Amino acid sequence: MTQELMLFLKDLTIKKIHEGLKNKEFTAFELTKEFFDYIETRDKEVQAYLSLDKVGALAAAEAVDIAIAKGEDIGPLAGVPMAIKDNLLVKGLPATAGSKMLENYTAAYDATVIKKLKEAGAIVIGKANMDEFAMGSSTENSAFKITKNPHDLERVPGGSSGGSAAAVAAHMAVAALGTDTGGSIRQPASLCGVVGLKPTYGAVSRSGAIAMASSLDQIGPLTKTVEDAAIVFNAIKDKDPLDATSVDMEYGDDLLHPKLENVKKLRIGLPKEYFVEGMDEYTRAEVNKAIEKVKSLGIEVKDISLPNMKHALSCYYIIMPAEVSSNMARFDGIRYGRLDELQQDEPKSLLGIYHKQRGQGFGKEVRRRIMLGTYVLSSGYYDAYYAKAQKVRKLIKDDFDKAFEEVDVILTPVSPTTAFKIGEKTSDPMQMYLSDIFTLTLNLAGLPGVSIPVRQYEGTGQMPVGFQLIGKAFREADILGIGQFYERL
């Protein structure tokens, strides 16, 4: 790997690749090959990928080059190398969800978002590492490897989409897809210094995503710039007949082409409940810098309150495990190819098979959440816990609705700290859960949010900090518009 190659890949965005291909500065095949050459060296340190698809990626790149040679118009994603979180199905590739339970599973079809990316000409480089079944905030819960933060290899990249964020931050992909159930796109984006968008619930089809908590999960992009995030989101959004929760929503021209005069009309709220003790001082100072920078755009900023935010963590850790326990029931070790593990000491009954397969196939964090979820749904406890949590969820959504009567966008921190050391929080689940305290409210309310780096951190020796912009439902254009003008300052 040459220094020139690293600098070349570092400088690439979706827009620059599109221009380079159109101007014949390089071919998609050459570009894809360069990425694999770089991954071969860099990923030995970072460990962002679980599997690569060199043959498929180079074939897809060749198809883009043929289209260009024929004089056909290509879209903005054509020839763009992307990493895909390993809980999203890509036909013919492994889909482990970071778990031993699915170690031998190969996807039989493409998730809807993957179909859309392939139709747009994007190149799937490989599948990115993640916390097992997306349960975690550090990618330390993967059954296969621990991904490192590219800015400091002794620190975590965040989670659960840590592999996706690290691949983009380390320039081993220009963009990536992740999933966000309580902050799993935005938190690793913040810790790795990239952009991460969690769309409105229903804006993007979840068909072909391995479910964790179905009323909270959402698929979204991780990219180097806000502009790139808008391009990927525009490609994967829209209603899908395979996902009954997806919505047919018309997005205007301002999604990809925001106007400064429209952005300046937006009002931003700062909720006092998010700027509390517990946030480290460096993170607080960086987020305050972001607020001042946003003000310099000429946008009105005012203080607001979201009073029920204090109940969000408790509410989330009742609803999410309850849905986890239901979704994990399908993984019995029979339908997904772990029966070959039963050759020695074969159980004598079906119940024995379940005990052995689920006990050995699931990691500690997954078992913890299944047990917690089963408990809160059990007879005598449903009304005391789950039903009450759903009422609190409604109160949290009402808080946002009320706040959006006086502001258009809400600005908050993403994570209370920068990336922590590997192993620092693994022995204390509560400390790990607190990593998502600023992000999970959006999943409960179904709102869009984007994590944007406060500034450029690479080469400064400092760990990245992101700030979060929260928008009204299906108003991704507002938060992406502010973000695009922010990163041009």
Residues 183-200: tens digit of each pLDDT: 999 999 999 999 999 999
The verdict on residue 152 lying in a domain is yes
What pLDDT is stored for residue 148 in this prediction?
A: 98
pLDDT surpasses 80 at 339: no
pLDDT (tens digit per residue) in 232-259: 999 999 999 999 999 999 998 999 999 9
pLDDT (tens digit per residue) in 24-61: 999 999 999 999 999 999 999 999 999 999 999 999 99
Write phi, then psi, for 390 (nearest 5 degrees): -65, -35
Residues in Cβ contact with 380 at an 8 Å cutoff, skipping those fewer than 6 apart: none
The verdict on residue 208 lying in a domain is yes
Q: What is the mean pLDDT of residues 16-20?
A: 96
Q: Letter for the amino acid at 168?
A: V
Write phi, then psi, for 106 (nearest 5 degrees): -115, 130
pTM above 0.75, yes or no: yes
Active site residue ranges = 85, 160, 184
Cβ(193)–Cβ(453) below 8 Å = yes
Confidence of residue 1 (pLDDT cuts 50, 70, 90): very low
Write phi, then psi, for 393 (nearest 5 degrees): -55, -40
Strands across the sheet with 123-128, in order? 49-52, 123-128, 81-85, 175-179, 219-223, 195-198, 449-453, 466-471, 409-413, 267-271, 300-304
Confidence of residue 288 (pLDDT cuts 50, 70, 90): very high
What pLDDT is stored for residue 128 in this prediction?
A: 98
The verdict on residue 65 lying in a domain is yes
pLDDT (tens digit per residue) in 388-439: 999 999 999 999 999 999 999 999 999 999 999 999 998 888 889 888 999 9
The verdict on residue 214 lying in a domain is yes
The verdict on residue 220 lying in a domain is yes
Min mean pLDDT across 165-179, 330-344, 453-467 is at 330-344
Of the candidates 37, 41, 88, 81, the residue with the CA atom closest to the CA atom of residue 57? 81
Cβ(197)–Cβ(219) below 8 Å = no
Residues in Cβ contact with 409 at an 8 Å cutoff, skipping those fewer than 6 apart: 266, 267, 268, 269, 469, 470, 471, 478, 479, 482
The verdict on residue 276 lying in a domain is no
| Domain that includes residue 93, residue range | 3-263+470-486
Confidence of residue 335 (pLDDT cuts 50, 70, 90): confident
Find residue 176's DSSP bridge partners.
83, 222
pLDDT (tens digit per residue) in 353-363: 777 778 788 99
CA distance 135 to 112: 23
CA distance 22 to 64: 11
Q: What is the mean pLDDT of residues 160-166?
A: 98
The verdict on residue 216 lying in a domain is yes
Greatest pairwise CA separation for the chain in angstroms: 71
Percentage of the chain lying above the pLDDT 70 cut: 97
pLDDT surpasses 70 at 347: no
Residues in Cβ contact with 401 at an 8 Å cutoff, skipping those fewer than 6 apart: none
The verdict on residue 408 lying in a domain is no
Number of domains in the chain: 1
Mean pLDDT over the full length of the chain: 94
pLDDT surpasses 90 at 444: yes
pLDDT surpasses 90 at 81: yes
13: CATH? 3.90.1300.10
